[in-house]
Amino acid sequence: MTLDGERRIPFSIYTRSHSTCAPDAEHGRASFGFNRLPAELQLRILASCPPSTLFQLMHVSSTLRAEASKRFRAEPSAYFLVEAWWLLDGAHPGKTSCDMAFLAHVENIEVEYQPSLTTEICPRRNDVLTIRQDLIRAFWNSLTRIFPEVKKVILNHNGECITWPDGPGPLPLALQLLLRACPRHVDASTLMLDKGDPARGSGTVGMPLERWRRSVYRLGEDGLWKRSEPDKVRMTVMMPVKRFIGPVGEFQKLYYDFTENILLQKYELWPLMVEALDRHHFDGGNREPFSCPIPECHAYLEKPGAWTIHVAEMHFQERKRLVEALPCALKVGFKNRMHALEAKAKEIDAQYKRIGDEWNEKDGLRRRDMERSWMEQLENDEAWSTGNAARESPLWTEFPKQVYVGEGCT
Ligand SMILES: [Zn+2]
């Protein structure tokens, strides 16, 4: 989960088989028997398979690969995640951890659209608004080039846009322009955090959370924006990752492990703790109003869900204070999890330090070796191409700064 509360499903979990007794030999036998069924029956069975089973079939059965792959990619509730800045920047393989070969088959895409991008696409200087048509073109050119099979795109704008309103309509101008520029064969929409009905609530300071809502907007055939409720079963699935090989890959893996693994797991602890405490008092027929467990807070929570709103308004992301205040039955598991994540972060820090020490050795021999191997890989390995010459690659120009300050996990 991100700091903003967006749920992320790692690809490995999305495709993990839930069967506890499926060794390879069993797969082989099942697949053999399956192949002898009439084709029509095979297709009907495939139609009821979850994505994890389809993914396994893509890898164990040559006869079923094409059909399983088609159904896996067309799973309507799964949207694969990509970042907007990467598309705007030209979608270079070296600036992502995604497996580029997989991207070529993706049909449903969720674009993580940071609200700050609005000021990149529509900058305003001295009260003059500029529209960066070049960026809007770059966005769709990148997207349709990298995802040639794309059918649906949802731009997820989860946050308050500080410059909004910058034009008429329910969306920031930059989002409106991006959606209007969408190719005809793509169904594009945006998932917005918006303020809901302006008649409800009052003022801007201490605005009650219940005024905020999430909405989907798409452009109607009449040119007007249509609002609908978000799809509750939609899942955001993280792309499978590339192989981190060579000196560049090994170094980038440290950054990936920290930002995409440890940080997301760390952020999810807080909402999990919040929900666990709510369920502790109100689940399974229990109905036990309770006092806010955070020291010096006197709030009294009388109904299910009241705690969630209270903690979001008053104690946002206070992981350490909250874990200490949990009942013992909940505390142990969460503390163990926190310690495990801290240990992993320390391990990554130690690896940054080890590389930094080698880089900074006094005789400079190791530094020359490292430079030579980095240049060789950046010049020849398409997986790390950034659109720059090897020596100007941001991966290389940032490398000495990252190892010098060991900034990976700080
Ligand atoms: Zn409180």
Higher pLDDT, 46 or 210: 46
227 Cα to the center of ligand 1, angstroms: 35
> Same domain, yes or no, for 100 and 232?
yes
322 Cα to the center of ligand 1, angstroms: 10
The confidence score (pLDDT) of residue 198 equals 54
Task: Tell me which of 202, 237, 272 is where a domain ends.
Answer: 237
- Those residues whose beta carbon sits under 5 angstroms from the ion ligand 1 are 292, 294, 297, 299, 314
312 Cα to the center of ligand 1, angstroms: 9
The confidence score (pLDDT) of residue 409 equals 46
> Structural domain of residue 252, as residue ranges?
246-409
Six-digit token string for 80: 């694969």
Residues 6+ apart with CB under 8 A from 323: 269, 273, 331, 334, 335, 338
The predicted model gives 15-35 an average pLDDT of: 57
298 Cα to the center of ligand 1, angstroms: 6
Residue percentage of the chain with pLDDT more than 70: 89
329 Cα to the center of ligand 1, angstroms: 20
307 Cα to the center of ligand 1, angstroms: 8
pLDDT band at 193 (very low <50, low <70, confident <90, very high): confident
> Same domain, yes or no, for 110 and 200?
yes
201 Cα to the center of ligand 1, angstroms: 22
Q: Is residue 31 part of a domain?
A: yes
> Same domain, yes or no, for 65 and 105?
no
pLDDT at 25 over 50: no
213 Cα to the center of ligand 1, angstroms: 23
The confidence score (pLDDT) of residue 279 equals 93
Q: Is residue 19 part of a domain?
A: yes
> Same domain, yes or no, for 63 and 183?
no
410 Cα to the center of ligand 1, angstroms: 29
303 Cα to the center of ligand 1, angstroms: 15
pLDDT band at 71 (very low <50, low <70, confident <90, very high): confident
The sheet with strand 78-83 has its strands ordered as 225-228, 213-219, 187-194, 152-157, 108-112, 78-83, 235-237
The confidence score (pLDDT) of residue 28 equals 46
Lowest mean pLDDT among 40-54, 154-168, 268-282, 301-315: 154-168
295 Cα to the center of ligand 1, angstroms: 8
13-17, 121-125, 387-391, range with greatest mean pLDDT: 387-391
The whole-chain average pLDDT of the chain stands at 87
The confidence score (pLDDT) of residue 405 equals 56
Q: Is residue 109 part of a domain?
A: yes
pLDDT band at 153 (very low <50, low <70, confident <90, very high): very high
328 Cα to the center of ligand 1, angstroms: 19
> Same domain, yes or no, for 230 and 324?
no
β-strand pairing of 225-228 with 213-219? antiparallel
108 Cα to the center of ligand 1, angstroms: 40
The predicted model gives 311-337 an average pLDDT of: 91
pLDDT band at 402 (very low <50, low <70, confident <90, very high): confident
1 Cα to the center of ligand 1, angstroms: 23
N- to C-terminal Cα distance for the chain? 20
Lowest mean pLDDT among 37-46, 123-132, 308-317, 397-406: 397-406
Q: Is residue 7 part of a domain?
A: no
The confidence score (pLDDT) of residue 18 equals 64
301 Cα to the center of ligand 1, angstroms: 9
Q: What is the dihedral of CA 33, 39, 43, 44, to 10 degrees?
A: -80
> Same domain, yes or no, for 385 and 318?
yes
205 Cα to the center of ligand 1, angstroms: 19
Higher pLDDT, 91 or 3: 91
Higher pLDDT, 274 or 45: 274
pLDDT at 250 over 80: yes
8 Cα to the center of ligand 1, angstroms: 28
200 Cα to the center of ligand 1, angstroms: 25
The predicted model gives 144-160 an average pLDDT of: 93
> Same domain, yes or no, for 256 and 226?
no
> Same domain, yes or no, for 189 and 155?
yes
The confidence score (pLDDT) of residue 331 equals 94
Task: Tell me which of 31, 56, 72 is where a domain ends.
Answer: 72
> Same domain, yes or no, for 329 and 279?
yes
342 Cα to the center of ligand 1, angstroms: 26
299 Cα to the center of ligand 1, angstroms: 5
The confidence score (pLDDT) of residue 63 equals 74
> Same domain, yes or no, for 171 and 286?
no
> Same domain, yes or no, for 187 and 202?
yes
The confidence score (pLDDT) of residue 22 equals 45
Task: Tell me which of 203, 237, 271 is where a domain ends.
Answer: 237
> Same domain, yes or no, for 40 and 186?
no
Q: Is residue 261 part of a domain?
A: yes
Q: Is residue 333 part of a domain?
A: yes
CA–CA distance, 280 with 326 (Å, rounded to integer): 10
Q: Is residue 3 part of a domain?
A: no
Domain total of the chain: 3
> 83 in helix, strand or coil?
strand
The confidence score (pLDDT) of residue 164 equals 52
Which pLDDT tens digit goes with each residue over 342-386?
Answer: 999 999 999 999 999 999 888 889 999 999 999 999 999 999 999
pLDDT at 202 over 90: no
DSSP type of residue 231: P
> 82 in helix, strand or coil?
strand
Q: Is residue 1 part of a domain?
A: no
